[in-house]
């Protein structure tokens, strides 16, 4: 039976790599019961955690041009990695329409409650 297992996730945040790893060390041990994972190994850009039954969670953080790229890898704890990523501030995505900035996008949306006309 084929399964769709998500084992590697990525997130782009405004936090530094050090702040990301410090947050991970607080987040994973505080999960409820079988979803808790405890620090196993760490280095300057990564931390590994072990959960009940030996399940491994790996969080890595590396500075990139527009923030910090955080990767998370696991076999069973993908939901917990997703929840951890949701606690991290995201880098603001650039506007997708030409000439549209965050400032004039909000202004445009406020002035046109029926949505875009183009």
Q: CATH code at 21? A: 3.30.310.80
Global confidence as pTM: 0.73
Which residue range(s) make up the domain with 43? Answer: 8-111
- Which two structure tokens, joined as six digits, stand for 7? 């084992």
Q: What is the pLDDT of residues 31-51, one digit of tens each?
A: 888 889 999 999 999 999 999
Whether residue 116 is contained in a domain is answered as no
Whether residue 98 is contained in a domain is answered as yes
Q: What is the pLDDT, as a whole number, of residue 6?
A: 59
Q: What is the pLDDT, as a whole number, of residue 93?
A: 65
Whether residue 42 is contained in a domain is answered as yes
Rounded to whole angstroms, how far apart are CA atoms 51 and 47?
Answer: 13
- Domain count of the chain? 1
Rounded to whole angstroms, how far apart are CA atoms 96 and 79?
Answer: 28
Q: What is the pLDDT of residues 55-106, one digit of tens each?
A: 999 999 999 999 999 999 998 899 999 999 999 999 986 544 444 444 554 5
Instruction: Name the pairing type of β-strands 46-51 and 37-43.
Output: antiparallel
Whether residue 1 is contained in a domain is answered as no
Whether residue 33 is contained in a domain is answered as yes
Rounded to whole angstroms, how far apart are CA atoms 41 and 85?
Answer: 20
Whether residue 118 is contained in a domain is answered as no
- Which two structure tokens, joined as six digits, stand for 46? 């990564």
Whether residue 2 is contained in a domain is answered as no
Instruction: Name the pairing type of β-strands 67-74 and 8-13.
Output: antiparallel
Whether residue 3 is contained in a domain is answered as no
């Amino acid at each position: 039976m084929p399964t769709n297992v998500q084992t590697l996730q990525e997130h782009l945040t405004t936090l530094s790599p050090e702040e990301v790893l410090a947050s991970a060390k607080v987040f994973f041990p505080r999960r409820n019961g079988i979803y808790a994972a405890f620090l196993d190994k760490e280095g300057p850009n990564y931390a590994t955690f072990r959960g009940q039954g030996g399940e491994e969670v790996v969080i890595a953080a590396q500075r990139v041009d527009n923030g910090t790229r955080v990767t998370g890898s696991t076999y069973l704890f993908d939901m917990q990695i997703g929840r951890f990523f949701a606690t991290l501030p995201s880098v603001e995505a650039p506007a997708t329409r030409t000439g549209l900035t965050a400032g004039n996008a909000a202004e445009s949306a406020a002035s046109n409650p029926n949505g875009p006309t183009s």
